[in-house]
Amino acid sequence: MFKNLFGKKQAVSKTIELKAYATGNILQLEDVPDPVFSKKLMGDGIAIEPQEGKFVSPVDGEVIQVFPTKHAIGIKALNGAEILIHIGLETVSMNGEGFTSHVVEGEKVKAGDTLVTIDLEKVKEMAKSIITPIVITNSDDMESIDHLISSGSVSVNEEVILRVTSK
């Protein structure tokens, strides 16, 4: 009897919505001054030029990668979308200086959970740019990636910026 009450797995929707993972201004990937992102070599997505140093999970899912330098985090969403948040451009050379990770690999996260905080001024000073792309690295496995906001400002965990549907 209890198995029938509590044992049911919740059906996972093929479509997920990604909320703003930082407060700042939206940029199209094509406008990111790094060809790996602007040519969508890693996948489709969008970018935010952050106004503060807090980055949160855009979706419910599982942290699948925390780079040792803390400049990038991978999350697997419930529909299978693999999401990479890359904080700043050419920030790997900072070796984690100015970055504080708040999650570990394998950790379950909810939309709005803090992933990483940074010293924004230090990153502005030491990196090529603070522009922070978000990319669906398995874009080819997705049926559609809809850009819901193409410009303007967004607030962390408020606006839905992307809608991703798996095949």
- The alpha carbon dihedral of 61, 66, 70, 75 has a sign of negative
What is the average pLDDT across 100-114?
A: 98
Q: Is the pLDDT of residue 7 over 70?
A: no
Neighbours of 139 (CB within 10 A): 17
Check if CATH label 1.10.357.10 holds for domain 14-166: no
Better pLDDT: 165 or 5: 165
Q: Encoding tokens for residue 60?
A: 């419910």
pLDDT band at 12; cut points 50, 70, 90:
confident
Distance CA 35, CA 57 (A): 25
Distance CA 58, CA 84 (A): 11
For the chain, the average pLDDT equals 94
Q: Confirm if 113 and 152 have CB atoms less than 8 A apart.
A: no
pLDDT tens profile 26-60: 999 999 999 999 999 999 999 999 999 999 999 99
Q: Say whether pTM exceeds 0.85.
A: yes
What is the average pLDDT across 96-122?
A: 98
Distance CA 130, CA 133 (A): 10
- Residue 147 is among the residues annotated as catalytic for this protein: no
Q: Is the pLDDT of residue 8 over 70?
A: no
pLDDT at position 24 = 98
pLDDT at position 3 = 47
Catalytic residue among 71, 86, 102, 147: 86
What does the domain layout of the chain look like in residue ranges? 14-166
Element counts in the chain: helices (H) and strands (E): 3, 14
What is the average pLDDT across 103-132?
A: 97
What is the average pLDDT across 131-159?
A: 97
pLDDT at position 1 = 43
What is the average pLDDT across 3-22?
A: 77
| Torsion angles phi and psi, residue 35, rounded to 5 | -60, -25
Which single residue is written with the structure tokens 């940029």? 27
**b (16+ CB within 10 A) / e for 72-89:** bbbbbbebbbbbbbbbbb
